[in-house]
Amino acid sequence: MKSLIINTLILIFFLSACKKDNCTETILTVKHFESEYGCTNTKHTLMIDLNNTCTLIQSKEDYDSKVTGTCHPDIDFTLYDLVIGKQSSGNLNDTILYDLRHKCPEDELTLTIDIIQKALTQPDNVVYHAMIPKLGSGESLKINVNVK
């Protein structure tokens, strides 16, 4: 009986250790002004005073003071943070793709933004934005912007 209890405890220990090692990468949902609020062409109608960089906006006051344009949605900043940036390129923009992942066990959050260009050689400046789940205190976000 004593060996059965010891063997059971050892098995539980190994199973819990395996469970921690099996933590994988999770794809998270990114929300956009177009899908959530019905805004159109925000890559050209939103304005922010940035150049080839981005910022994280975590309050309505910060949004109202930094972002202008025809779309001014009522974002729930208790649930979301907003990543917004402006990128110039040598070609006209075709589309912008977003990919948000939580990597484990590193507990790392990464947002990748792919700005896909058309073949037409015409300089373009686009504003990209992604509503992401609210970051907790101490949480960080790694942002990668790729112009393709």
Q: What is the pLDDT of residues 73-131, one digit of tens each?
A: 999 999 999 999 999 999 999 999 999 999 887 778 999 999 999 998 999 999 999 99
With respect to residue 103, please indicate whether it lies within any of the assigned structural domains. Answer: yes
Q: Which of 45, 43, 58 has the alpha carbon at shortest distance from 115?
A: 43
d(CA 35, CA 29): 12
For Cα atoms 113, 118, 119, give the angle at the middle one, nearest 5 degrees. Answer: 135
With respect to residue 6, please indicate whether it lies within any of the assigned structural domains. Answer: no
Question: Token pair for residue 61?
Answer: 């006051």
41: left (phi over 0), alpha (psi -120 to 50) or beta: left
With respect to residue 14, please indicate whether it lies within any of the assigned structural domains. Answer: no
With respect to residue 18, please indicate whether it lies within any of the assigned structural domains. Answer: no
DSSP per position, 8-74: HHHHHHHHHHHHHHT---EEE--B-HHHHH----HHHHEEES-SSEEEEE-SHHHHHHHEEES----
Query: Quick check: 10 pLDDT over 80?
Result: no
Q: Domain residues for 61? A: 23-147
With respect to residue 96, please indicate whether it lies within any of the assigned structural domains. Answer: yes
pLDDT in the model for residue 17: 46
> pTM for this structure?
0.82
**Local confidence band at 138 (pLDDT 50, 70, 90 cut-offs):** confident
